[in-house]
Amino acid sequence: METINSALTSIFANRLRSFLTILGIVIGVMSVILLISLVSGLKTYITNQIQGLGANLLIVIPGRIGGARSPGGVQANRLVYADALNLRSKLSNDAQVSAAIQRNATLKFGNKNDKGVAIFGVEATYPKIVSIKLTAGRFFNQSEQQSSRKVAVIGTTVKSNLFGEGSGLAQTIDVAGLKYTVIGILGQRGAIFGIDLDNAIYIPLPSAERQFGIDRLNTIYISANSAESVGDVQNKAVSLLKKRLSEDEFTVQTQEQTLSTISQITGVLTLALGGIAAISLIVGGIGVMNIMLVSVTERTREIGLRKALGARPKDIRNQFLIEAMTLSGLGGIIGIVLGIGISLIIGRFFTTTVPLWSVALSFGFSMLVGVIFGVTPAIRAARLDPITALRYE
């Protein structure tokens, strides 16, 4: 306790220097917590979104995840509507199927514009397969799809941007130069990292294909009739698609596999961003060592006097080591408080999650930095010759 008291007295005797010393630790710990909370929040949000689509859902996408690529670096998309029709026909007793394409375009209503809106061309069966809710109006039916009617279901952001407080139903909007009638309003889905999921509209698939000149699908959604049959449906879908496409030209993923892929991606992001943030902790540790070396030099006579009065080398070593650990510990605590506080503020706009392990990891690493970078100055102080130290000017 006497050694700890002595260390604290020395730290508070040089408040400004101590503050500047721990600043690097504070920034490092705060950065680690913030970055991990953002990545964890992203993972939580995407997981909830995917789980909200339904446990029985399978997704067919062009190209193979981790598969071969063309010389240009992009996997060729050979997924066409005929593939969706074939799956629907052969899996009619086991699942429901819906195809989809997607493009971005500008919407207009009167003198109002909404740029960068996601235009989804889907089938009438889409709401039954993918869990989406409407707050007003209805989704288009099979007859409207087959006749390529110019009808649209819009997201809440589109509604707000184009119609304000108005309902928007039965209004005619300009979608990339063509007129569509609004027949439904989607429920709010929210935003993630600045990407507004409600800034989207859904139109019949044939209408989108003709307007944008698209003959390739972005996605085929398959909803198994039961959770137990998901694996069997996946195997059947793969076998059917293999009759026309190679293994590198498509991927059929279940929700479980999609979540596993997302976990792997976010895991790599967490390690990468956490490692980058940890660099500032190392820089802060170098600052701690630098200041402790200066402190040893300034207090050479004090060290000589203590040794002359009977202090053992380990007492001197412990004193300076505790000072370094205290500086790192204070920096870690302040960094944790600031990191959690800023994460809560950011959480009002984006999804953030502060895992307990990130707090423990950042604080433990800050203390480890204090030990590692405090050892050299502490050993140097402990090895000082008392006679030489007393003569030091």
Would you state the pLDDT for residue 69?
47
SS (H, E, C) 258-270: HHHHHHHHHHHHH
DSSP state of 8: H
Hey, where are the domains in the chain? 2-47+262-390, 99-217
- Please report how the helices 15-52 and 313-346 are oriented relative to each other, as an axis angle in degrees rounded to 10: 40
How many other CB atoms are found less than 10 A from the CB of residue 3? 16
| CA distance linking residue 354 with residue 36, whole number of Å | 7
53 CB-near residues (< 8 Å, 6+ apart): 130, 131, 255
Would you state the pLDDT for residue 302?
72
What separation in angstroms does the CA of 5 have from each of 2, 8, 11, 382? 5, 5, 10, 18
164: left (phi over 0), alpha (psi -120 to 50) or beta: left
Q: For 130-170, what is each residue's pLDDT tens digit?
A: 877 889 999 999 999 999 999 999 999 999 999 988 888 99
CA 115 to chain centre: 25
Task: Please give the structure tokens belonging to residue 268.
Answer: 């790599």
Would you state the pLDDT for residue 141?
93
Q: Print pLDDT tens along the chain (393 aa).
A: 776 777 677 777 777 777 877 888 888 888 888 888 888 887 777 777 665 566 688 889 888 765 544 444 445 788 899 999 999 999 888 888 999 999 999 999 988 988 889 999 999 988 888 877 889 999 999 999 999 999 999 999 999 999 988 888 999 999 998 999 999 999 887 665 456 778 899 999 999 999 998 889 999 998 888 877 888 888 999 999 998 888 888 888 877 777 777 777 777 877 787 777 778 777 777 877 777 777 777 667 777 777 777 777 777 777 778 888 888 888 889 989 998 999 888 888 777 888 888 888 888 888 888 788 778 777 777 776 666 656 655
Q: Number of C-alpha atoms within 13 angstroms, CB side, residue 369?
A: 32
* Strands 250-254 and 178-186, bridge-based pairing: unpaired
Would you state the pLDDT for residue 70?
44
Q: For 38-63, what is each residue's pLDDT tens digit?
A: 888 877 777 776 655 666 888 898 88
Task: Please give the structure tokens belonging to residue 13.
Answer: 């005797």
Would you state the pLDDT for residue 208?
93
Per the document, the length of the chain is 393
| CA distance linking residue 323 with residue 8, whole number of Å | 7
Would you state the pLDDT for residue 192?
55
| CA distance linking residue 375 with residue 289, whole number of Å | 8
Would you state the pLDDT for residue 72?
41
Residue 207 identity: S
Would you state the pLDDT for residue 312?
78
| CA distance linking residue 290 with residue 295, whole number of Å | 9
| CA distance linking residue 140 with residue 51, whole number of Å | 25
Report the alpha-carbon angle 320-325-330, nearest 5. Answer: 130
